[in-house]
Amino acid sequence: MKFIAYNVRDDEIPFIEKWGKDHQIEVAYTTTTLTPETIEEAKGYDGISGLQTIAYTKELFIAFRKLGIKYLALRNVGVDNLDLQAAADNGVKITNVPAYSPESIAEFAVTMALFLSRKVGYMQQQLRQKQEFHFSPDFMGRLISEQTVGIVGTGRIGQHAIRLFKGLGAKVIAYDKYPIKDTHGEFHYTTSFQDLVRQSDIISLHMPATPDNYHEFNHETFELMKNTALFINTARGSIVDTADLIFALQSGEIAGAGIDTIENESADLQDSRSTKQVTDADVIKLSMMPNVLITPHSAFHTTRSVMNMVNISMDHLKAMVEGKPVSDIVD
């Protein structure tokens, strides 16, 4: 058996090579994004390991069938970019890695909340743009322990985020479309999504992107938020109307934002060897604002995550080819 991994970053290579050596299985890798055009590179391989936020389309799954490739093991959590019907129609079995390190993403959301609450962006802007190095009233921050944090989505990542924010002394409230029955008194759910939006000083998103929540954070939602509120999105870009977010920040409807995931992420975003200049006008606008922290979909990116993403994805491919039971089937 032999496998090929697409969209491989340099930091994944040692883990891929080690897995191949440990299992005596050939694993090729490429920095290329998996598309109907690039799948030709996988000819002759038994399975593909993938990681990307651009779409896995119907045309791609037709190409899988034509090449006789039956297995796609994602190295990531999110499955919003897959045409699952087309995968099933073309006999492609898919796995993901649902829990490679939920704490990595939760810690990043807290990092963003701390950065924004303590106005670090304003300090950086004053020094970098004006070469001034002194106090300013703009730098006065707020303690997390004096804020109400609203967590949307109380799954693996959301629950870690709740623990971390509670550890810093925050009052935590939550909303989930499918709430947990027993929260063991750790946090309480608001009666509605709108209640969470109105009451929170910090809102942090931890739900998947679904057709139902496309642009759920739009002009109306930002208007409901406190003018002093901070908004953090490490979930998926499609949940937020980016133009409305920019308006909310510019008009003072909200006080700041941490944006790790943004609409229409390009294939280039995941190319660790890219030297291209950013051209997305929204990314450029957001990057100029002192009350915004914008990062290239990096909340996941820790050593623990990368090791688990590679190892679990490759284990899934091996088990599928061997016809053994696999836990993380996506259907």
Q: What is the Cα–Cα distance from 316 to 170, expressed in whole angstroms?
A: 39
Q: What is the Cα–Cα distance from 327 to 49, expressed in whole angstroms?
A: 16
Q: Which of 236, 294, 298 is nearest to 272 (CA)?
A: 298
Q: Which of 12, 103, 216, 265 is catalytic?
A: 265
Judged by CB under 6 A, the residue of 6, 64, 231, 300 near ligand COI is: 300
Of these partners, ligand NAD, ligand COI, none, which one is at the site of residue 93 (CB under 5 to 8 Å by kind)? none
Binding to ligand COI by CB under 6 A, coded x per residue (else -) over 240-279, reads: ----------------------------------------
Task: For ligand NAD, give the closer residue by CB, 76 or 126.
Answer: 76
Q: Which of 142, 288, 280 is nearest to 201 (CA)?
A: 142
Task: For ligand COI, give the closer residue by CB, 126 or 311.
Answer: 311
Task: For ligand NAD, give the closer residue by CB, 35 or 204.
Answer: 204
Q: What is the Cα–Cα distance from 280 to 169, expressed in whole angstroms?
A: 37
The contact set with ligand NAD (CB under 6 A) reads 77-78, 98, 102, 105, 152-158, 176-178, 206-210, 212-213, 234-236, 260-261, 297, 299-300
110 binds ligand COI (CB under 6 A): no
Q: What is the Cα–Cα distance from 108 to 302, expressed in whole angstroms?
A: 10
Of these partners, ligand NAD, ligand COI, none, which one is at the site of residue 176 (CB under 5 to 8 Å by kind)? ligand NAD
Q: What is the Cα–Cα distance from 10 to 57, expressed in whole angstroms?
A: 26
Q: What is the dihedral of CA 279, 282, 288, 294, to 10 degrees?
A: -100
In the region spanning residues 25 to 64, those forming contacts with ligand COI, defined by CB under 6 A, are: 51, 53
Of these partners, ligand NAD, ligand COI, none, which one is at the site of residue 53 (CB under 5 to 8 Å by kind)? ligand COI
Judged by CB under 6 A, the residue of 76, 154, 242, 311 near ligand COI is: 76
265 is catalytic: yes
Segment interacting with ligand COI (CB under 6 A) among 11-19, 72-80, 122-130, 272-280: 72-80
Q: What is the Cα–Cα distance from 66 to 62, expressed in whole angstroms?
A: 6
Return the sign of the alpha-carbon dihedral for residues 193, 197, 201, 203.
positive
Q: What is the Cα–Cα distance from 139 to 16, expressed in whole angstroms?
A: 44
236 is catalytic: yes
Count of residues in the chain: 331
Residue 237 CB, nearest approach to ligand NAD (Å): 10
Q: Which residues are catalytic?
A: 236, 265, 297
